[in-house]
A and B are shown apart, each in its own frame.
Chain A
Amino acid sequence: QLQLQESGPGLVKPSETLSLTCTVSGGSISSSSYYWGWLRQPPGKGLEWIGTIYYRGSTYYNPSLKSRVTISVDTSKNQFSLKLSSVTAADTAVYYCARRGILPSPFDPWGQGTLVTVSS
């Protein structure tokens, strides 16, 4: 059974870079059948797609975040990572990693999520 687990600092200072890692277990991140994505949810608000990566490294980013986002993959560790630069309080959210199929497929499953607070 595929499982995803987010990890990283829970507190980031304004203007710094948020860095999170998603560890995939129970399956290979190098599968040609899937993409791997990051999404977030500010407290009490709705979901927002951040970006998606294929195991070969091709990426797709939310245009509203594109200038600040980098998603990378480490197939040797079965992990993929998110970096979001120049963070502000508006970036405070629960960050989720998730898998989706190659075809226009939904995100499923999701990791449990990790809360990142931006505050000095």
Chain B
Amino acid sequence: QSVLTQPPSASGTPGQRVTISCSGSSSNIGSNTVNWYQQFPGTAPKLLIYSNNQRPSGVPDRFSGSKSGTSASLAISGLQSEDEADYYCAAWDDSLNGWVFGGGTKLTVL
């Protein structure tokens, strides 16, 4: 059971806007920043969003992140077939004194 809660799946059609939620608590998301990773089958996770809403160089601006209270969201606008992947949220947990992850959301582009 993951400390951060994500929906196991999400889907959308090309061009649509999709959001993926990540729910935590006061000891993790509520007091620390959230990072998002994108993972394609058989490959290592890649940093997609850091510090709640910052994009690393090279990440398209179609990807955006936000945080409110103890929850965070990843939004993908102008959905493309190549966005089909697994997405994970992560944050530091002050109570566990360690990094915690969501269980991952599998995004399907219909």
A60 to B98, CA, bound (A): 8
Segment at the interface with B among A10-18, A71-79, A103-111: A103-111
The answer to whether B44 touches A112, judged by C-beta atoms less than 8 angstroms apart, is yes
Per the CB 8 Å criterion, the residue count for chain A at the interface is 20
The answer to whether B45 touches A63, judged by C-beta atoms less than 8 angstroms apart, is no
List the B side residues contacting A111 at CB < 8 Å.
44
List the A side residues contacting B97 at CB < 8 Å.
60, 63
- Shortest C-beta distance, A27 to chain B (Å), equals 16
List the B side residues contacting A104 at CB < 8 Å.
32-33, 92
A-B contact count (CB 8 A): 53
Interface string of B96-110 (1 = CB under 8 A from A): 111111111000000
The answer to whether A106 touches B102, judged by C-beta atoms less than 8 angstroms apart, is no
Looking across the interface, which residue of chain B has its beta carbon closest to that of A111?
A: B44
The answer to whether A46 touches B102, judged by C-beta atoms less than 8 angstroms apart, is yes
- Shortest C-beta distance, B51 to chain A (Å), equals 8
List the A side residues contacting B2 at CB < 8 Å.
46
A62-B98 CB under 8 A given contacts A104-B32, A106-B50, A110-B45: yes
The answer to whether A49 touches B101, judged by C-beta atoms less than 8 angstroms apart, is yes
List the B side residues contacting A110 at CB < 8 Å.
44-46
A110 to B88, CA, bound (A): 14
A47 to B37, CA, bound (A): 10
Considering only residues 80-99 of chain A, those with a C-beta below 8 Å from chain B are 96
List the A side residues contacting B47 at CB < 8 Å.
106-109
A49-B44 CB under 8 A given contacts A104-B32, A104-B33: no
A113 to B98, CA, bound (A): 21
A108 to B97, CA, bound (A): 20
- Contacts A62-B99, A63-B97, A108-B50 known; list 9 others, CB within 8 Å: A46-B104, A47-B37, A47-B45, A47-B88, A47-B90, A49-B98, A49-B100, A106-B47, A111-B44
